[in-house]
């Protein structure tokens, strides 16, 4: 898993500005309208967005797809689709993506895998964004010991060998049925989400803190303060809206990292349990058989690649659209 940049390019923060383009006769457009018209022009990003929409559709309609094809993701067709050595058979008229080592339909599993990847990535990223934003904002705004405490924690977590600790936590928490933290983190999906969030939030916090620090010095904040607004109010009313843009951009770029993180954990055998199809796990299972069963690794791999690619394209597009300077 790669480290995310400490400071991605983020738009210059400013107070919400409703002025029209100077000299224009038409009604002024809000920053969001401006953003959308710029984003719309980025064709590559639109392609990414379209794919993501398709992916969400697939994820939502996976059971329908299974019904249409007639195979459930966990239905085994061992005798039809594996040979006497337990090796799977490839794509044919009924199994469009072939079968896996126990005769399950890869096509249906890839569709269900979209759910897993999206769910894990969205949940984990959401949690990480939530925690990271709050902590980063508070640290940046308040300063003092709060800042020190949060920053030091962030530093420590960022210095940890991430995958290694993830392995350790998952290994430690998977052995019993109740899991860790007194049943809060059960083995399987919740554990994976937990581990990913724990290691993602520091990146968010660091960036949010940096942004908050520069926003803090702006005049409109000064103005609010002099009007008597309290710290909390300022943070959530004035600072946060200006953080939205980098948060969205950053979140969109964080999601593919987390998708790959889940895939990596699954590759090492530590991801979600078998009944829940996961692209990472399918690639891992298919990895050893690649030379005799190319379909096992190719299809989930392509979908994984396409998904992360799409998120990256959209994230790039968002970033370019939100940052007026890149139009120079």
Partner 1 sequence: MRLRRSRGILAVAAAVALLAAACGGEEQPRQEGQDGDLSGGALRIQMESFVFECNFDPTCEFVSYALMMQTNSFLRPLMNYRHVADDPGLEILPDLAADMPEISEDGLTYTFTLKDGVMFGPPVNREITSQDVAYAFQRMASQQQGNPYTYYYEGVVEGFELQKSPAEDIEISGIETPDDKTISITLANAVPDILFRLAMPATAPIPQEVASCFPQSGEYGRFVISSGAYMFEGSEDLDISSCESMEPIAGYEPDRTLNLVRNPNYDPATDNPEMRSNNPDRFELSVNTNVDDIFNKIVAGEADSSPDDPPAKFLRQFADDRERLPINPVDVLWYIGMNLTQAPFDDIHVRKAVNLAIDKDGLLRAAGGSLVGGVATHILPPTMGGPEAEDYDPYATSGFAGDADLAKEEMAQSAYDTDGDGICDAPECSGILHISRNEAPWTEFNPIIEDNLEAIGIELETREIEGGVAYELVSTTSENVPIASHAGWGKDWPDASTFFEALFTSGAIQAGAGVNNNVGLVGITSEINEERELGIEGNLGDIPSVDVHIEECIAMELGQARIDCFNEVDRTLMEEVVPYVPYRWDLESHLISENIAKWEFDQNAGEMSFAHIAVAS
Partner 2 sequence: MTQYIIRRLMWVVLVLLMITLIAYVIFFVMPPVDPARAFAGKRPTPELIETLRHQFGLDQPFYVQYGRFVQRLFLGDEYGWPGFGFSYATRSPVREELFQRAVITIQLGAGAAVVWLLVGIPIGIVSGIKRGTLVDRAAMGFALFGVSAPVFWLGLMFLFIFWQKLGIAAGTGYVALSENPVEWFGHMIMPWIVLALLFAAFYARMVRGSLIETMGQDYIRTARAKGLSERRVVVKHGLRASLTPIVTLFGIDFGTLLGGAIITETVFNMPGLGTYVVQSVFRGDLPATMGVVVLGALAVTVMSLVVDIVYAYLDPRVRYT
Please report, as residue ranges, which positions from 2 to 41 form the binding site for partner 2 (by CB under 8 A). Answer: 2-3, 5-9
Question: Is there binding between residue 164 and partner 2 (CB under 8 A)?
Answer: yes
CB of 325 to partner 2, least distance (A): 5
The Cα 244–Cα 232 span in angstroms is 17
Least distance CB 179 / partner 1 (angstroms): 10
- Which string of DSSP letters, residue by residue, matches 134-193? HHHHHHHHH-HHHHHHHHHHHHHHHHS-HHHHHHHHHHHHTSSSS-BGGGTB-TTHHHHH
Considering the complex, what minimum distance in angstroms separates the CB of residue 248 from partner 2? 17
Does 167 participate in binding partner 2 (rule CB under 8 A)?
yes
Q: Which does 309 bind (CB under 5 to 8 A by kind): partner 2, partner 1, none?
A: partner 2
Residues facing 105 on adjacent strands: 99
Q: 7, 274, 305, 326: which one contacts partner 1 (CB under 8 A)?
A: 274
Decide if residue 51 touches partner 2 (CB under 8 A): no
What gap in Å lies between CA 239 and CA 178, rounded to an integer? 41
DSSP state of 129: H
Instruction: Say how far apart CA 110 and CA 104 lie, in whole Å.
Output: 11
Q: Which of residues 289-328 bind partner 1 (CB under 8 A)?
A: 289, 291-292
**Angle CA(116)–CA(117)–CA(123) in degrees, nearest 5?**
85
Both tokens of 221, joined, read 């904040």
Residue 105: which H helix or E strand, with range? none
Residue 305 engages partner 2 in binding (rule: CB under 8 A) = yes
Contacts of 321 (CB under 8 A, 6+ apart): 35, 36, 38, 39, 42, 45
Is residue 226 packed enough to be buried (19+ CB in 10 Å), middle (13-18) or exposed (0-12)? exposed
Q: Is residue 251 classed exposed, middle or buried when 0-12, 13-18 and 19+ CB atoms within 10 A define those classes?
A: buried
Q: Which of partner 2, partner 1, none does residue 124 bind to, with CB < 5 to 8 Å depending on kind?
A: none
Residue 174 is a binding residue for partner 1 (CB under 8 A):
yes
Which of partner 1, partner 2, none does residue 76 bind (CB under 5 to 8 Å by kind)?
Answer: partner 1
Residue 43 binds partner 2, judged by CB under 8 A = no
What are φ and ψ of residue 88, in 5° steps? Answer: -80, 160
Q: Which of residues 248-267 bind partner 1 (CB under 8 A)?
A: none
* Binding of residue 146 to partner 2 (CB under 8 A): no
Is residue 263 helix, strand or coil? helix
- What three-state secondary structure class fits 98? coil
**164 touches partner 1 (CB under 8 A):** no
- Residue 287 near partner 2 by CB under 8 A: yes
Of the residues 60, 67, 273, 305, which one makes contact with partner 1 according to CB under 8 A: 273
What phi and psi values does residue 306 have, to the nearest 5 degrees? -60, -40
Which residues are bridge partners to 82 per DSSP?
Answer: 88
Could you say which residues in the range 63-102 bind partner 1, by CB under 8 A?
Answer: 74, 76, 78, 82-87, 101-102
**Stretch touching partner 2 by CB under 8 A, among 73-81, 98-106, 159-167, 227-235:** 159-167
- Return the range that interacts with partner 2 (CB under 8 A); candidates 19-27, 111-119, 138-146, 256-264: 256-264
326 binds, among partner 2, partner 1, none (CB under 5 to 8 A by kind): partner 2
Q: Which of 276, 293, 297, 322 binds partner 2 (CB under 8 A)?
A: 297
Where along the sequence are the contacts to partner 1 (CB under 8 A)?
Answer: 74, 76, 78, 82-87, 101-102, 104, 171, 174-177, 187, 269, 273-275, 285, 288-289, 291-292
């Amino acid at each position: 898993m790669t480290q995310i940049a400490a400071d991605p390019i983020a738009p210059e923060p400013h107070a919400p500005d409703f002025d029209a383009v100077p000299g224009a006769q038409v009604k002024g457009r809000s920053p969001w309208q401006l953003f959308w018209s710029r984003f719309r022009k980025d064709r590559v990003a639109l392609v990414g967005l379209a794919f993501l929409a398709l992916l969400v559709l697939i994820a939502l309609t996976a059971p329908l797809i299974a019904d249409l094809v007639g195979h459930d993701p966990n239905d085994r067709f061992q005798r039809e689709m594996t040979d006497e050595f337990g090796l799977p058979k490839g794509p044919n008229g009924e199994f469009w993506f072939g079968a896996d080592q126990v005769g399950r339909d890869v096509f249906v599993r890839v569709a269900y895998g979209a759910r897993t990847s999206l769910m894990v990535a969205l949940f984990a990223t959401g949690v990480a964004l939530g925690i990271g934003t709050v902590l980063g904002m508070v640290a940046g705004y308040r300063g003092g010991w709060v800042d020190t405490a949060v920053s030091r924690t962030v530093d420590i977590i960022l210095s940890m060998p991430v995958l290694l600790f993830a392995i350790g936590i998952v290994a430690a928490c998977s052995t019993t049925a109740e899991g860790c933290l007194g049943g809060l983190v059960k083995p399987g999906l919740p554990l994976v989400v937990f581990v990913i969030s724990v290691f993602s939030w520091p990146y968010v916090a660091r960036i949010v803190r940096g942004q908050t620090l520069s926003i803090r010095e702006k005049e409109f904040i000064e103005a609010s303060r002099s009007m008597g607004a309290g710290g909390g109010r300022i943070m959530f009313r004035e600072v946060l809206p200006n953080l939205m843009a980098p948060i969205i951009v950053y979140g969109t770029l964080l999601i593919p990292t987390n998708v790959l993180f889940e895939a990596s954990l699954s590759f090492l055998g530590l991801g979600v349990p078998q009944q829940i199809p996961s692209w990472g796990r399918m690639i891992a299972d298919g990895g050893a058989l690649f030379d005799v069963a190319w379909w096992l690794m190719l299809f989930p791999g392509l979908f994984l690649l396409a998904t992360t690619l799409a998120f990256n394209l959209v994230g790039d597009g968002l970033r370019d659209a939100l940052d007026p300077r890149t139009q120079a």
